[in-house]
Amino acid sequence: MNSLNQKTKVCAVIPFYNEKDFLLDVVSETLNFVDKIIAVNDGSTDGSEKTINNMERVQVISLNRNYGKGYALQKGFNESIKQNFNNVITLDADKQHNPAFIPEFISELTNFNIVIGNRLNDTKNMPIQRILSNKLTSLLLTLKTGQKILDSQCGYRIYSIEVLKRVKLSSIGYEAESEMIVYAAREGFKIGFINISTIYGNENSKMNPINAILGFIKILFK
């Protein structure tokens, strides 16, 4: 493990659904920066889990069907609490998030309870529809929480374990990450951001836009 305070136990929770082409690379690179990875197989049908089975410091939790990202994240959070980790990194399994930023996330957690990656400082490679939706949702969550939310939709984050002990996700889809922001702010946790780069390649988004919009609207009224 590189560049970490050995007294602090850090794990990564990586939910995945049909990411056979990318999962092994993401897990292998992430292991350079964390003590353990809890990879949650959200009902994959392409054999993704076989690429990382039996890897040292990697625990695979396999769900019996595809429930949704929020559900998979909460399963990973529950396990990280059981295993007494101090901090939990979350990142996507499709290689959009560069694990090399993990030490910066950990360092910034000394000032905040949650640190989220901000992709909107450099949007030249981001699809225009994502830029618009992200800026709108970030503005709405800023107004709702009273904290400056720079990138509400980024799943590359680090949480103090105290946040995960007190805030439980009830949403099972992609809106769960917005729900976490709302509930954490309500509990008085401080939310910070670091600038990150994001890679947009040949991966296919698994987000249903209509469901995502409806889910976010529901979060706004919680």
Quickly state the pLDDT bin for 216 (edges 50, 70, 90). Answer: confident
* Higher pLDDT pick, 63 / 221: 63
Quickly state the pLDDT bin for 127 (edges 50, 70, 90). Answer: confident
Domain ranges for the chain: 10-220
What is the predicted pLDDT for the residue at 130?
78
Superfamily of the domain at 10-220: Spore Coat Polysaccharide Biosynthesis Protein SpsA; Chain A (3.90.550.10)
What is the predicted pLDDT for the residue at 209?
62
Residue 213 has pLDDT above 50, yes or no: yes
Q: Name the least confident of 59-63, 190-194, 204-208.
A: 204-208
Q: Name the least confident of 26-30, 102-106, 137-141.
A: 137-141
Average pLDDT of the chain, as a whole number: 91
Who's near 18: CB < 8 A, 6+ residues apart? Answer: 44, 45, 46, 48, 206
**Which is nearest to 117 in space by CA: 86, 76, 72, 150?**
150
Residue 2 has pLDDT above 50, yes or no: no
**Which is nearest to 61 in space by CA: 80, 78, 38, 82?**
38
**Which is nearest to 107 in space by CA: 22, 196, 3?**
3
What is the predicted pLDDT for the residue at 210?
67
Per-residue pLDDT tens over the stretch 39-62:
999 999 999 999 999 999 999 999
What is the predicted pLDDT for the residue at 50?
97
Per-residue pLDDT tens over the stretch 135-170:
999 999 999 999 999 999 999 999 999 999 999 999
What is the predicted pLDDT for the residue at 208?
59
| Residue whose tokens read 């292991």 | 31
Task: Give the rounded distance of the alpha carbon of 212 from its chain centre.
Answer: 16
